[in-house]
Amino acid sequence: MAGRILQRAGKYTVTLQDRQADDDMYTVRRSMSPSIFADVGAREAGRSSDRLAIVANCCDYSVRMNTKRLQNSPLSLSLALLTLYVLNGEILMNGEGGGSSSRGNNMAPLNRTVFDFLKTQSLDSFSPPIRQQLTFIKSCRLIQVQLVKDGIQTRGHLWEIGPQISVNVRRRVPRQYRSGSGLSKHHRRSLHQLLLQLRAGRSRMRQARLASYLEGFLDEDENCAGVDELSFSRKFQTWMAGAVGEAIADPGKVLRLGRLTDKRRDVAQDDYTGIFVFDADRAPEGEYIFTAFEDGKDEEIDKHVALEVDVGALNRSGVPLLEARRWINGLVFFHGHRRGDFIFPWHRSLTV
């Protein structure tokens, strides 16, 4: 059965397309996981608990449920499916408005099927910067997830959104060529123009570290022998560099700097070491960005996250509470900064 579900992957590319997208590069905005859950739920699979194993296989989940134990327990299959979904890092919109198009609501899940709930509350604002859009989105998952009383606990870095930076696209830079990593000569030229911009102007001292990191990245990229030699984290960084390079020459996009912040101690790093892509006609929905990256071990899937978030209070253990707003593309450098703990509180409908 898992094979039949996966054969539908080509159809998911069509059914999940955002028909209102202006940029045909960004046509798929949603994960196919809710669709896989719904397809499995609509088919006969013998014992109901077998659906857990089928879904886990189709979605490449490393965290599995003990189906034999669940079969003999009074626990709901719907609750088990939801637990499987979030334990494997799938992203749920936990704010008042549901998905980024505000189509969610506060109706209790008991008034809907778990499949309807996942479709409504799952993130629908992904912006894949590569052609293999579903492949990119499949890895868009939270890392090191734990379910706690307050919500979904995970680890990563928090960035405070800073000022906008404009790049002079007419500035002359050395001739560039496509690199072994796949970064185009157009993107490399734009990133070199960004590098020069970071070293100019009144804020160049606070941008010096970002400029140094970007220069180092471009030097390594120039000498890259091929994609196969890159770790997943490095591939993701290259994809994000391409997204930033593409945005520099796009009048419909703006770049904003970001700096690491520690909400536990209520302090932020002085220097900017991140740069994020925003739509020019759309104001940020939050003032912070949450990022996390993790190379998969053994048979685990590689994971990456970059979310615009609102930051709430700290819980009793001093862990910041985050509300997911939408996906954001950006190039970040966090050398020497450890990941911190964060919690995405349960959506209100799950606490009724």
Model confidence over 195-236: pLDDT tens digits? Answer: 999 998 777 888 999 999 999 999 999 988 888 888 888 899
**pLDDT band for position 112 (50/70/90)?**
confident
Confidence check: pLDDT of 110 > 70: no
Confidence check: pLDDT of 168 > 60: yes
CA gap 240, 237 in Å, rounded: 5
Quote the pTM value: 0.88
Q: Is 103 or 252 the better-scoring residue by pLDDT?
A: 252
Would you state the pLDDT for residue 61? 95
Would you state the pLDDT for residue 103? 43
Confidence check: pLDDT of 177 > 80: yes
Would you state the pLDDT for residue 293? 92
**Token match 């003032």: residue?**
287
CA gap 239, 234 in Å, rounded: 9
Question: What average pLDDT does the segment 101-106 reach?
Answer: 47
Confidence check: pLDDT of 14 > 60: no
CA 134 → CA 81, 139, 179, 254, 328, distances in Å?
21, 9, 24, 25, 16
For helices 204-222 and 232-248, the axis angle rounded to 10 degrees is 120
Q: Is 120 or 110 the better-scoring residue by pLDDT?
A: 120
Q: 337 phi and psi, to 5 degrees? A: -110, 120
Q: Is 256 or 27 the better-scoring residue by pLDDT?
A: 256
Would you state the pLDDT for residue 20? 55
**Spatial contact of 99 and 105, defined as CB atoms under 8 Å apart:** no
Strand partners, 161: 258
Would you state the pLDDT for residue 13? 58
Would you state the pLDDT for residue 102? 42
Give, in degrees to the nearest 5, the angle at Cα 114 between 112 and 119: 90
Lowest mean pLDDT among 3-12, 114-123, 162-171, 264-273: 3-12
**pLDDT band for position 99 (50/70/90)?**
very low
**Spatial contact of 278 and 328, defined as CB atoms under 8 Å apart:** yes
Query: How buried is residue 297: exposed, middle or buried, by Cβ count under 10 Å (0-12/13-18/19+)?
Result: exposed
Confidence check: pLDDT of 124 > 80: yes
Lowest mean pLDDT among 62-71, 84-93, 271-280: 62-71
Residues 6+ apart with CB under 8 A from 129: 25, 136, 239, 240, 242, 243, 246, 329
For helices 50-58 and 77-87, the axis angle rounded to 10 degrees is 20
Nearest alpha carbon to residue 143 among 133, 158, 153, 134: 153
Tens digit of each residue's pLDDT (9 = 90 or more) over 250-282: 999 999 999 999 988 888 888 999 999 999 987
Mean pLDDT of the chain: 85
